[in-house]
Amino acid sequence: MIAILKYNAGNTRSVYNAVSRLGYEVSISDDPFVLQSAEKVIFPGVGEAGSAMAYLKARELDLVIRELKQPVLGICLGMQLLCAYSEESNTEGIGIFDSQVQRFPGGYLVPHMGWNNCASLKGSLFEGLDLNADFYFVHSYYAHINADTVAAADYIVPFSAALQKDNFYAVQFHPEKSAQTGNLLLQNFLTL
C-alpha cells in the first residue's frame, strides 16, 4: 500500500488519482502507523509552509517522517518542508536535506508556473527519461542547488528541481500534473 501524507495541504487528491491510475492501492492518512507500515510514502503539498509545518508538529508527524525507512517522495511544498529551513513564514523544516528554501527575487513574475525543463538528471527517479525532461512547476520558493541535488532547473536563478538523500526523494515540480513524463517518474519511485 502507498500512503499519501495528509497534513492540511492541498493536492493530495491529484496525487492519489495519479498513483491509483498506475494501479496501486493508495491511502491518504496522517496516522503514524499507516505511514510507518506503508511500502512507500508520498509527501505532497500545495500551500503555506508555516501552517503546514504546524499541523505536522502538532501531531508529531515531523518526528515520524524523519524515522521512515521506506522510500519517501516529497512533492513541491513536501520537498520544501523536508529541507532545513524556509523563508516562508520563517519556518523550521524537518531537516532531511541541509538546504535553505527562499523566495524567488523580487521584480519578476512569481510564482514560477508552467512547464520547465530539468537538467543534470541523476539517479533512479529519472531512469528512462529524456536528459532535458519537461515537468510542470507552480512555486514561489525554491531550494538552492546543493550536494543532494539530482536535477536542476532555472527560473530567474538556478535551483534544485529534485533532491535525494538515502531513502528520501523530493521534487519541486508536480509529477502528477506532468503528463507522461510525470507518470514515468512516479512509476520509477513506486518500483524502487
Q: pLDDT truncated to tens, each residue of the chain (192 aa)?
A: 999 999 988 889 999 999 999 999 999 999 999 999 999 999 998 999 999 999 999 999 999 999 999 999 999 999 999 999 999 999 999 999 999 999 999 888 999 999 999 999 999 999 999 888 999 999 999 999 999 999 999 999 999 999 999 999 999 999 999 999 999 999 999 999
Specify the CATH number for the domain of residue 94.
3.40.50.880
Active site residue 176: yes
Q: How many domains does the chain have?
A: 1
**108, burial (CB in 10 Å: exposed 0-12, middle 13-18, buried 19+):** exposed
How many CB atoms are closer than 10 A to CB 132? Answer: 10
The one catalytic residue in 83, 88, 118, 176 is 176
76 counts as catalytic: yes
Task: Identify whether 144 is a catalytic site residue.
Answer: no
* Marked catalytic residue, from 39, 76, 88, 92: 76
Here the cell at position 66 is 524523519
Q: Which domain holds residue 90?
A: 2-190
